[in-house]
Chains A and B, each alone.
Chain A
Amino acid sequence: MKPALVLKNLSKTYKNGVQALKGIDLEVPEGEFFALLGPNGAGKTTAIGIVTSLVNKTGGAVEVFGHDIDRELEVAKSCIGLVPQEINFNMFETCLTIVVNQAGFYGIPRSLAKQRAEKYLKQLQLWEKRNSIARSLSGGMKRRLMIARALMHEPRLLILDEPTAGVDIEIRRSMWVFLREINDSGTTIILTTHYLEEAENLCRQIAIIDGGRIIERDSMANVLRKLQTEIFVFNVRASLQRAPALQGFTAHLIDEHTLEVEMSKEQSLNDIFAQFSAAGIDVTSMRNKVNRLEELFIRLVDAKPAQPAAAVLPA
């Protein structure tokens, strides 16, 4: 089985000298739900732009299901569905026209395109808006319309560049369910997002890109295992004047009902609860201080030697 996407020594230097990609290598297996993460300006959108032929590469190679974009561009493109970061449909066309036309650009006959339009607009809760012009849609609806449009030719590889940016939590979670179903049906998905909770929830594989280089590439489980310590927040019933002394742990009092406790991955939460019980402290609830992937992401990006996200080449 050929990988869904292979990037070989992919590089991009813009005309103004900005080196957005510095020879990245990446392989995304078929069927994966893959997270491509990185801070703003890291090179994610440039990489996606090259794969989808919206950006010309400077060097390297791209293969989509074994089809090299330099030799079999049209075949490679027919395998990909793109949900871009920025809204990019004609604001004066109706939702139905936008998706049916997009299917036409991929050679889908109009009768079949209309059936698929109904299917995907209904699944994304846009069927009632099918005759509304795109400009009149809310931000969340516009994002969903771009997903419906990208699915019209039923691509084998779906690339989502921040698909849930600006979408409220309820719709975001319904989109997660929908995307899981798409992935379960065999479509490979590459997701970029700034909501790391989203990546942790959805993706099984992860790559982190920063400064035009891949700085981490592993399964989500392995990456999270690298997190050495976690901070837990405990809400307690009785008011506290100072943080209790916990043997082997560092506790900080945030307010009289809230404690933060840092714990390494060798330690046990049971030990903390045992000490709380011994001290007569009643815990009413607890949570991670930050999302685990977010914690790791910040550490990885911060640990990298200081350099601008996109360094300017010497003249």
Chain B
Amino acid sequence: MRAPSRARTDWIGFQTIIIREFNRIARIWGQTLVPPAVTATLYFVIFGSLIGRRVGSVGGFDYMQYIAPGLIMMTVITNSYANVVSSFFGAKFGKHIEELLVSPLPNWLILTGYIGGGVLRGLLVGSVVTVVALFFTHLAIHNVFATVSAVLLTSVVFALGGFINAIFAKNFDQISWFPTFVLTPLTYLGGVFYSINMLPDWARAASHANPILYMVSAFRFGFLGTTDVDLRLAFGIMIGAAVFMFTLAVQLLNRGTGIRD
């Protein structure tokens, strides 16, 4: 039998990682798909419907409509991160990462497969939350390119973040520190629930140091056509972060950090 070409071997290997990740997401649907839908519903009911009614409009949109893109993006961020950090660390902990390490797949492709899994979950759960949002408010897409590229780039960046966290983590505590103490505060302070124009000057200036603000704002622009930040800077930050983190993650894999003695 003719030996398969390198590209074909790599493509089948990549597909296999994606299928495995999808099966994992589907197998534990009670942990992956349902909780974000419940949480999003609660956010829409409490912040959007009950409190939002008293807030009035933000940037010319009713409050529910304003926070919907932010809530979708928050879900994409946390799920892209969570999928990769738990799947890769679980594979390290259970030693079945060795199935991939002994295989002929190059490290960059193993990484791409895990990112693909993270993006897949981020988009699946983001879609679920979008459907939930449609029960509470009207959502129309203002700019398809901005919407799609913002959600994909953000998902890739946080999938990479989860991967790097999992590489360094030595126990299950260490995969929850970053999401709890860094990711969640930055997400809540990243303009999901408000426009930074509502903040005092010092807080508005400080918010510009938060990368999540740029991601949420770019995504919100895709829906509403309004933004708190310069979009060129926002996409520059997302692309720069993705390139930097991908390069770093490949280097860590090549060195065997956290996975090889």
Known A-B contacts A77-B103, A106-B13, A107-B10; the reply to A84 vs B98 at CB < 8 A is yes
Chain A residues lying within 8 Å of B103, measured Cβ to Cβ, are 77, 102, 105-106
**Cα distance, A109 to B19, chains bound together (Å):** 13
**Cα distance, A91 to B244, chains bound together (Å):** 34
What class of interface size applies to chain B in its complex with A?
20 to 34
**Cα distance, A92 to B20, chains bound together (Å):** 12
Query: Is the CB of B9 closer than 8 A to any CB of chain A?
Result: yes
Whether A107 lies near B9 (C-beta < 8 A) is yes
**Cα distance, A104 to B18, chains bound together (Å):** 11
Chain A residues lying within 8 Å of B106, measured Cβ to Cβ, are 74
Q: Closest CB-CB distance, B17 to chain A, in whole Å?
A: 8
Whether A75 lies near B104 (C-beta < 8 A) is yes
**Cα distance, A88 to B20, chains bound together (Å):** 16
Query: Is the CB of B4 closer than 8 A to any CB of chain A?
Result: yes
Query: Is the CB of B201 closer than 8 A to any CB of chain A?
Result: no
Query: Is the CB of A220 closer than 8 A to any CB of chain B?
Result: no
Q: Closest CB-CB distance, B22 to chain A, in whole Å?
A: 12
Chain A residues lying within 8 Å of B101, measured Cβ to Cβ, are 53-54
Smallest CB-CB separation from B105: which chain A residue?
Answer: A105
Whether B16 lies near A101 (C-beta < 8 A) is yes
Known A-B contacts A54-B260, A97-B23; the reply to A90 vs B91 at CB < 8 A is yes
Which one of B17, B27, B100 contacts A92 once the chains associate, using CB atoms below 8 Å? B27
Whether A88 lies near B98 (C-beta < 8 A) is yes
Whether A106 lies near B9 (C-beta < 8 A) is yes
The number of chain A residues with a CB under 8 A from chain B is 34
Whether A101 lies near B20 (C-beta < 8 A) is yes
Within 8 A of A (CB), among B49-92: 91
Q: Closest CB-CB distance, A59 to chain B, in whole Å?
A: 15
Chain B residues lying within 8 Å of A75, measured Cβ to Cβ, are 104
**Cα distance, A3 to B105, chains bound together (Å):** 24
Chain A residues lying within 8 Å of B104, measured Cβ to Cβ, are 73-75, 77-78, 105-107
Q: Tell me if B's interface is mostly helix, strand, loop or mixed.
A: helix
Q: Closest CB-CB distance, B243 to chain A, in whole Å?
A: 24
Which of B10, B13, B95, B103: most chain A CB closer than 10 A? Answer: B103
Whether A107 lies near B98 (C-beta < 8 A) is no
Query: Is the CB of B96 closer than 8 A to any CB of chain A?
Result: yes
Query: Is the CB of B15 closer than 8 A to any CB of chain A?
Result: yes
Whether A55 lies near B261 (C-beta < 8 A) is yes
Which of A55, A104, A149: most chain B CB closer than 10 A? Answer: A104
Query: Is the CB of A195 closer than 8 A to any CB of chain B?
Result: no
Which of B12, B91, B260: most chain A CB closer than 10 A? Answer: B12
Query: Is the CB of B173 closer than 8 A to any CB of chain A?
Result: no
**Cα distance, A84 to B104, chains bound together (Å):** 17
Within 8 A of B (CB), among A24-55: 49, 52-55
Chain B residues lying within 8 Å of A54, measured Cβ to Cβ, are 98, 101-102, 260-261
Whether A107 lies near B4 (C-beta < 8 A) is yes
Q: Closest CB-CB distance, A237 to chain B, in whole Å?
A: 55
- Per-residue contact bits, chain B 5-41, to A (CB 8 Å; 1 contact, 0 not): 0101110110111011001000100000000000000
**Cα distance, A104 to B96, chains bound together (Å):** 15
- Per-residue contact bits, chain A 216-234, to B (CB 8 Å; 1 contact, 0 not): 0000000000000000000
Smallest CB-CB separation from B15: which chain A residue?
Answer: A104
Query: Is the CB of A82 closer than 8 A to any CB of chain B?
Result: yes
Whether B94 lies near A90 (C-beta < 8 A) is yes
Whether A53 lies near B16 (C-beta < 8 A) is no
Chain B residues lying within 8 Å of A102, measured Cβ to Cβ, are 99, 103
Query: Is the CB of B256 closer than 8 A to any CB of chain A?
Result: yes
Identify 8 new A-B residue pairs, CB closer than 8 A, beyond the known A102-B99, A107-B4.
A53-B102, A77-B103, A82-B102, A88-B94, A88-B99, A90-B94, A101-B16, A107-B104
- What residues of chain B have their CB less than 8 Å away from a CB belonging to chain A? 4, 6, 8-10, 12-13, 15-17, 19-20, 23, 27, 91, 94-96, 98-106, 256, 260-261
- Report the 10 A-B pairs with minimum CB-CB distance, sorted nearest first: A107-B9, A104-B16, A105-B103, A88-B95, A74-B104, A78-B104, A77-B104, A90-B96, A107-B12, A52-B102
